[in-house]
Structure 1
Amino acid sequence: MEKQNQNGKMHGSNEQPRFISEPPGLRQPSPTAEQVARVHLLYSNLPFSIGISGLLACILMFVLTPASNSHRLLAWFGILSLVLMARGILFVFWRKHAYSRGEIDDLDDWLRWFRIGTIAGGVVWGIGGIVLAPLGDIGHKVYVSFALGGLCAGAASTLAIDRLSVVGFLLTVLLPQIVFLALQDDTLSYGMSAMETLFLLFLLASSRQTRLHLEENVRLRLRATENEFRLRHMLESSPIATCIEDAVDGRVIFANLSYASLIDTTPDRAIGAFTTDFYARPEEYAEVMDRLSKGEHVTNQLVELRSPGEPHWIKWTLTSYFPVEYQNKSALLVWFYDITDRKISEDRVQHLAYHDTLTGLPNRSLFRDRLQQAIATAEREQSALALMFVDLDQFKPVNDGYGHGIGDLLLKAVAERIGRCLRKSDSPARIGGDEFVVLLPAIKTEQNALEIAEKVRYELSQPFEIEGLTLGISASIGLAVYPDHADEIQQLINRADTAMYYAKSEGRNCVRIYRPDMREQNC
């Protein structure tokens, strides 16, 4: 078993904790994201720089071989090849040990070796500018100067992010030739030296501006990445269901755990899906997109979600939509605030406000509203409707003799039997203790209404089996027809009630339709 000695080292292990071998004062500070990005940019441009240098060296070899010392030219080309090969090996190690892992260990060492390789290449090119130009051959001197100037112009762009690299390369390449040309005895060489000096100053100034722009771009990109990371971290830990979808194709490109839970799946399976797959009414989503395209804000939109398959579920959310930029492309941030429990509770309260708690049928308030709408429709379409009043016979003895529990069960059974006798368009309601009404919104003649009423009367006259008891009741039913018997809602109600009163007074268990000679009762 490993044991720890007094110095804090572990016996039986070759590994030593870093905090023991490195005092805190000597520890290297962690590189900033901007420094890491700079080194990444330098190394990402390295293959291009090596390729251009090698290609330019081959062209110079081809052009200068007839006019220069071939041994000296080959020696220079060999040295440059070794330098380029070393820089290539450095890039290979970079790819293997840093880039492939997405991180940089020993940042200063990588930057130092890059600078050494860059300046070494510059030194070789600077020497080449002197030893390759044939003496007395002004044409080849101009060609060499042109080649070195082009090389430095490219380097001023690719190396601009690191001031030491770009300054070191430009000076080692151009300064030797500037001095070399200034020492010649001809006016053209003097002029070329002066022009290259101005060109060097221009490249140093332009590389500085390029570096400032690159650094600003790097900072902006890092800031955007950091903001995106913060946004992602915030959304992942948010209790509000959140997803980000591509603004072009509508596919989900980010989903947090709350969203996955909302649609009953996992975050991985949510990625790539369409949010509209879970909309109960996809046309609502199209309307939202249209409003967003007009620059409108869409927040707290009530959206009904449903499962596209099994198991079946329905949920309600308050949904907000925010156009954003995510992963460098236009996207849509969508928040789904789950209010399913609240919606169910509100629906229950709404149902209780307009429905009878015992039978579940509409109550008096909802029934009057439906009757008013039906009369308006009938007036518009020049059609007829009927109102049926149903009053139970012999219900009070059952309620008194067997108790309210049995009476309540009997009322529920009555409501079920009435419902079985009606068409889908008909609307029953309970308006009192043992009083029911039925709206027949589409009838052609009085006979149609009488047939339905007789069916209800017959069904209610059959024995009820309740808790082992056989209970016998009946119903007295009154009918009034719009517009034959009344042309407004309260009058129609009164006359249906009057007809029911006459059915009761004429022996019960019968149906009566309103006649003008009936004396109306107050309802």
Structure 2
Amino acid sequence: MMKLIEYLQGRSGTCLLLGFAIETICIIALVIFVLFLLANDRKNRMTALMLEQMQETFQLEGERYRIATELSQDIIFEYRIGEDKMVNTEKYRELFGGDPVVLKFTENCGKRQDKVHPDDWGIYLEYCRELREGKCIIETEFRAKNRLGEFIWCQAMGKTIYDEERKPLRVIGKIVNIDIQKKELEALEYKATRDPLTNVYNREVTIKKIEKFITGNKNNRHMMMFIDFDDFKLINDNYGHLIGDKILIYVIGKIKSVFSEGEIIGRIGGDEFAVFAGNIVDINEVLHKADTLRCAMETTYFDKGNAIPISGSIGIAIYPEDGLHYEQLMERADNALYRAKEQGKNNFMLYSPVI
């Protein structure tokens, strides 16, 4: 009996110990689970906070982008290649007066021909092609009509975005109104190439333009005229250089009226001018032009009651018979001019080897 009691007591102690151990394990597990839940909750709250911060950042960046595009004078655009859709900012409507969103942008490119300057139409077609093909970097300049119907200079720049397989997706870029800068540059270039008194080409530019024209048209005949006012030194001596300058301006206007815009007129020095006409048909055409010019220069300038008679003499050389470049042609035209003055001035003369 005693042995049984001892046995049961031993078993009971073991059970108690086992029960205590199980209870302890459960408590520990519960604590771990609670800590896990707390940690997970903290993580979720941190994740939610991070997502909220990211959303605020995205909203802030979007607002910054919106404000930047509104303040910018440039037109920001996105061309979606797969849709052939052009999306511009509202600045497009302000500058050009059309809808900022253009469907079938490159497909209907030809319908915008009246909106692009005729001289720049080929450039604009190339611009549309580069957009459609997704060229990596796009940069070009062309003139387009603004909402007032005036042609203005624009600069278009874009960069293409590709997918992982290097397939072009869209082009992000901008269109900048560079009309003021372009016209200022053109004015500076004009000033740099012109004689300040008469507004015709200066000597250096005249030579370059004639040489360039000859280089590009070697197989045709061209005409060089060398013009000198008769007795212009006497006019300066008798009436002063100020009156002489006024007479130069007056007569050069008459010379311009004889020739078309495509012909080169330049001041070589003092009262000497050169006129170069390309692609002449025959000598009779040259002689007729020379006589028309002589008649235009034979005039009278009136100043403060003074009637000042004016006339000029002309020497003519023909490419390629008389010379193959500017210096040769000018030398032969100068020889012909000397002969014309010898024969009484107010005259013109074709170069001849017997001169």
Is this a same-fold pair by TM over 0.5? yes
Give the letter aligned to residue 296 of structure 1.
C
Give the letter aligned to residue 77 of structure 2.
I
Name 1:445's counterpart in structure 2.
282
Q: Structure 1 297/264 Cα, relative in aligned 2: closer, same or farther at 3 Å? A: closer
**Residue 508 of structure 1: how far off its partner (Å):** 0.9
- Asked whether 1:402 is paired with 2:239, we answer yes
- Asked whether 1:358 is paired with 2:171, we answer no
Q: Structure 1 426/297 Cα, relative in aligned 2: closer, same or farther at 3 Å? A: closer
**Residue 456 of structure 1: how far off its partner (Å):** 0.6
Deviations 1:284-313 (A, max 9, x none): 344345445445123xx3523332564524
Percent of pairs with identical residues: 25
Give the letter aligned to residue 137 of structure 2.
H
Matches within 5 A, 1:187-206: none
- Asked whether 1:513 is paired with 2:350, we answer yes
* Alignment gaps of 5+ in structure 2: 1-43, 163-168
Name 2:136's counterpart in structure 1.
296
Q: State whether residues 78 and 86 of structure 2, in contact with CA within 8 Å, keep that contact through their aligned partners in structure 1.
A: yes
Name 2:100's counterpart in structure 1.
271
Give the letter aligned to residue 319 of structure 2.
Y
The structure that is helix-richer by fraction is 1
**1:229 is matched with which residue: 41, 63, 74?**
63
Deviations 1:64-112 (A, max 9, x none): xxxxxxxxxxxxxxxxxxxxxxxxxxxxxxxxxxxxxxxxxxxxxxxxx
Q: Structure 1 475/351 Cα, relative in aligned 2: closer, same or farther at 3 Å? A: same
Name 2:12's counterpart in structure 1.
none
**Residue 332 of structure 1: how far off its partner (Å):** 4.5
Aligned pairs, number: 292
SS of residue matched to 1:334: strand
**2:319 is matched with which residue: 482, 506, 511?**
482
Give the letter aligned to residue 200 of structure 2.
L
1 CA distance for matches of 2:51 and 2:121?
41
Deviations 1:359-391 (A, max 9, x none): 221122222222223333443x3x321211110
Q: State whether residues 124 and 142 of structure 2, in contact with CA within 8 Å, keep that contact through their aligned partners in structure 1.
A: no
* Alignment gaps of 5+ in structure 1: 1-210, 519-523
Q: State whether residues 315 and 337 of structure 2, in contact with CA within 8 Å, keep that contact through their aligned partners in structure 1.
A: yes
Deviations 1:86-141 (A, max 9, x none): xxxxxxxxxxxxxxxxxxxxxxxxxxxxxxxxxxxxxxxxxxxxxxxxxxxxxxxx
Name 1:463's counterpart in structure 2.
300
Name 2:213's counterpart in structure 1.
374
Q: State whether residues 477 and 512 of structure 1, in contact with CA within 8 Å, keep that contact through their aligned partners in structure 2.
A: yes
**Residue 417 of structure 1: how far off its partner (Å):** 1.0
**Residue 514 of structure 1: how far off its partner (Å):** 1.3
Work out which of the two has the higher radius of gyration on C-alpha atoms and give 1 or 2. 1
**Residue 245 of structure 1: how far off its partner (Å):** 4.2
Q: Structure 1 467/294 Cα, relative in aligned 2: closer, same or farther at 3 Å? A: farther
Q: Structure 1 319/507 Cα, relative in aligned 2: closer, same or farther at 3 Å? A: same
**Residue 464 of structure 1: how far off its partner (Å):** 3.2
Give the letter aligned to residue 141 of structure 2.
V
Deviations 1:226-253 (A, max 9, x none): 5433321222123x41233452344444
Name 2:187's counterpart in structure 1.
348
SS of residue matched to 2:173: strand
**Residue 509 of structure 1: how far off its partner (Å):** 0.8
Q: State whether residues 244 and 331 of structure 1, in contact with CA within 8 Å, keep that contact through their aligned partners in structure 2.
A: no
2 CA distance for matches of 1:481 and 1:363?
22
Compute the RMSD of aligned alpha carbons: 3.6
Normalization by structure 1: what TM-score? 0.48
Q: Structure 1 249/438 Cα, relative in aligned 2: closer, same or farther at 3 Å? A: same
**Residue 474 of structure 1: how far off its partner (Å):** 0.6
Give the letter aligned to residue 398 of structure 1.
I
**Residue 225 of structure 1: how far off its partner (Å):** 5.4
Name 1:306's counterpart in structure 2.
144
Normalization by structure 2: what TM-score? 0.69
Q: State whether residues 440 and 449 of structure 1, in contact with CA within 8 Å, keep that contact through their aligned partners in structure 2.
A: no
Give the letter aligned to residue 341 of structure 1.
I
Q: Structure 1 489/468 Cα, relative in aligned 2: closer, same or farther at 3 Å? A: same
Q: Structure 1 308/482 Cα, relative in aligned 2: closer, same or farther at 3 Å? A: same
Deviations 1:410-436 (A, max 9, x none): 212211211222245432221111111
2 CA distance for matches of 1:323 and 1:503?
66
SS of residue matched to 1:443: coil
SS of residue matched to 2:269: coil
Deviations 1:182-227 (A, max 9, x none): xxxxxxxxxxxxxxxxxxxxxxxxxxxxx99xx8999988765554
